[in-house]
Amino acid sequence: MNICEHCGYHLKMSSSDRIELSIDPGTWNPMDEDMVSMDPIEFHSKEESESYKNRMDSYQRKTGLTEAVQTGTDQLNGIPVTIGIMDFQFMGGSMGSIVGEKITRLVEHAGNQLLPLILVCAFRGARMQEGSLNLMQMAKISSALYEYQKNKRLFYVSILTSPTTGGVLNFFI
């Protein structure tokens, strides 16, 4: 259960671990897993010896993920649901253009299919390497969630995990 047997501390979980623990076995159908971030502003930090693209490649190799969120449909106790699970191990779960796009598409899919929506957040903040493009994602997600929640029969829950910074509260809740 990812709890230290000596001190009782809850260990960090990857998004893949959360999927395996949370949903019915064999029901995971990922969405948009081939979407990858580009380098829209050709970011290269003076302090860092590598480009944003090289850094993304490194995180993709390290985690086996293409981005900091996994989205898809599955079943939870036999009930069809949509779920988005952020992964802090991928650049601190930071919000880039593709993370925002994947979450927005998930919310829209949940609304179109009248499915419950679960978002599991492990989030450090906006990804500075994409400039203001990533900040637009927060507004886009908020707008999609607003539309989803207008249908009072739909169920939405946001699960904030550790670590998650306070800025996320502005658009996930």
Please indicate, yes or no, if residue 8 is contained in any of the structural domains: no
Looking at the 3D structure of the chain, how many domains does it have?
A: 1
Please indicate, yes or no, if residue 6 is contained in any of the structural domains: no
Q: What is the CATH number of the domain that holds 134?
A: 3.90.226.10
Cα–Cα distance measured from residue 90 to residue 108, given in angstroms and rounded to the nearest whole number:
24
Please indicate, yes or no, if residue 5 is contained in any of the structural domains: no
> Whole-model pTM?
0.86
Please indicate, yes or no, if residue 3 is contained in any of the structural domains: no
Cβ(119)–Cβ(84) under 8 Å?
yes
Q: pLDDT at position 124, please?
A: 75
Cβ neighbours around 37 below 10 Å, total? 24
Q: pLDDT at position 2, please?
A: 73
Q: What is the mean pLDDT of the chain?
A: 85
Angle at 55 between CA 34 and CA 89, to 5 degrees: 70
Its domain, for residue 49, covers: 15-172
Chain segment 63-107, per-residue pLDDT in tens: 999 999 999 999 999 999 999 999 999 988 888 889 999 999 999
